[in-house]
Copies of this chain bind each other. A is one copy, B any other.
Amino acid sequence: MTDIPDPRQPSFVLVRPQMGENIGASARAMWNFGLDRMRVVAPRDGWPNERAVALASGAGRLLDHAGLFDSVPDALGDSTYVFATTARPRGMTMPVVTPERAMQQARAILAQGGRVAVMFGPERAGLENEDIARANAIISVPVNPEFPSLNLAQCVLLVAYEFRRAGDTTPPEVMELARTDFATGAEISALGDHIEARLEEAGFFFPEPKAEGMRRSLRQIWGRLPLTRADVQTLHGMFRQMVRWAETKQRDP
């Protein structure tokens, strides 16, 4: 896991953002993934922006330290590599990369001592070609072509998420998936009910104060196990047999 905040991180440049709410939500999204270097270019409603501060709750620090610029060239002045985010490529002669690949490249460039910026366009129009022309590469999110409209903060969230993921060491917790006929949630619930009822009769849930916790942890066991339909039938049978046995002992002790 990387440090929080990441000592080597890209700056996120919001170009001519319109709604303060979206600037605030973008600040939250950045900080959710440990990024705290925001730059704002010619925000429509001026700066500082009250609504941005209100929405940033918890990430307001990013706005306090955000760099304010009049133009895109000013905001990119110290950057050695610039990404531009667009809903879809604009047919420019420029590398088009996925967010994942882009943030892997960003980490590589930062590790070499480079300075990386990621541009995000205004809510409606997005970045203008003149802005994109100043980038080294385009980040294109693989969205549903029938519904590609990501809002500003969502786009910021996905890129920030990918930057963190690119440096993340969290184990994916690999799990074997046998080709088996898993039981359905309904079958698991029925099994849980059956077993719970039998154990109730058997006086298993004792003492009373602990009963609720015991029931829950029992349910958790069934919910957790990747039980097959066959497993479930076996377990039902086991408990039916325990009851028969108990009844027999009752008849002839």
Contacts and interface: CB of A to CB of B under 8 A. Distances in A.
Copies per assembly = 2
A80 B183 contact: yes
Contact of A59 (B98, B147, B148): B147
A29 to B, nearest CB: 7
Nearest to A165: B142
A25 to B, nearest CB: 9
A38 interface: no
A165 to B, nearest CB: 7
A94 to B, nearest CB: 5
A13 to B, nearest CB: 11
A18 to B, nearest CB: 17
A21 B59 CA distance: 22
Interface in A210-232: 216-217, 219-220, 223-224, 226
A226 B137 CA distance: 10
B172 A98 contact: yes
A248 interface: no
Contact of A73 (B78, B144, B182, B185): B185
Given A33-B143, A223-B133, A58 B158 contact: no
Contacts of A203: none
A130 interface: yes
A61 to B, nearest CB: 10
Interface string A98-132: 10110001001100101101000000000001100
Contacts of A148: 32
A80 B185 CA distance: 6
B216 A185 contact: no
A94 B224 contact: yes
5 contacts: A32-B149, A77-B184, A98-B168, A98-B173, A117-B185
